[in-house]
Amino acid sequence: MPSVFFKNYLRELNNIFGDINSKEFEVFIGELIVAYERQSNIFVCGNGGSASTASHFACDINKGVSFGKDKRFKVICLNDNIPTLLAYANDISYDDVFVEQLKNFMVKDDLVIGVSGSGNSGNILKAIEYANKNGGNTFGICGYDGGKLKTLAQKSMVIQSNDMQKVEDIHMIVIHCAMQYLCGYLK
C-alpha cells in the first residue's frame, strides 16, 4: 500500500533526525558567516542528487539571503556550468571537473563545500584536497558514515544513514535551515 510505504518512509526519516549532530550544523553556519564577513568566495559542488542540492544552495544563498543587501554572499556552484564540466571530463577526467575550476578561481581563505551522499566521490575529494593544500577552508556535507570526505574536509556534517534518498532529503533540509538562519543573521 502506498500510504503505508509513505508513513514508513517518513517514520524512518524522523528517526534519522534524532541522530543529527546540531553542533555540526552550528559549525557549518560559522564557516558561512566567516566567509561572508571576509567576502570570500564560497564554492559548492556535488554529483547526481547532491549536484542539485549544491545548485539549490547557491540559489538560496545568492538570491534568497543576499537579495537587496549591499554586502552579499558570493556562492559559486561548480557543477552548474555543463560545457565546462563536459570539457574537463572529456579532455582530462571526470575526477578533475571541480578541481580544474578551483584552479581558475579559488584564492586563499575561500570556502569549498563538497556535498556527497557517500562521502567518496572522487571529484569532490580531489577538489577538497586541492583547497586544503592551497589555503582554502573546506567543509563536507556527507551521508552514510561520512566516507573519505568526513576526514579529508577540515570540518564536516554527516547524516548517519545508509539510505541515499533520505540522506539527500536531509541535506536539502540542512540547506534550507542554513538559508533561513542566514536571512535572520543579515537583518
In sequence order, the β-bridge partners of residue 116 are: 142
Q: Which pLDDT value is given to residue 182?
A: 97
Q: What is the mean pLDDT of residues 149-171?
A: 97
Q: Give the count of domains, the chain.
A: 1
Q: State the Cα–Cα distance between residues 163 and 118, nearest whole angstrom.
A: 10
Give residue 154's domain range.
Answer: 2-185
| Residues 20-35 pLDDT 10s | 999 999 999 999 999 9
Q: Which pLDDT value is given to residue 187?
A: 78
Q: What confidence tier does 139 reach under pLDDT thresholds 50, 70, 90?
A: very high
- The radius of gyration of the chain from alpha carbons, rounded to an integer in Å, stands at 16
Neighbours of 139 (CB within 10 A): 26
- What is residue 101's three-state secondary structure? helix
| Residues 43-87 pLDDT 10s | 999 999 999 999 999 999 999 999 999 999 999 999 999 999 999
Give the CATH number, domain containing residue 167.
Answer: 3.40.50.10490
- What is residue 114's three-state secondary structure? strand
Q: What is the mean pLDDT of residues 83-106?
A: 98
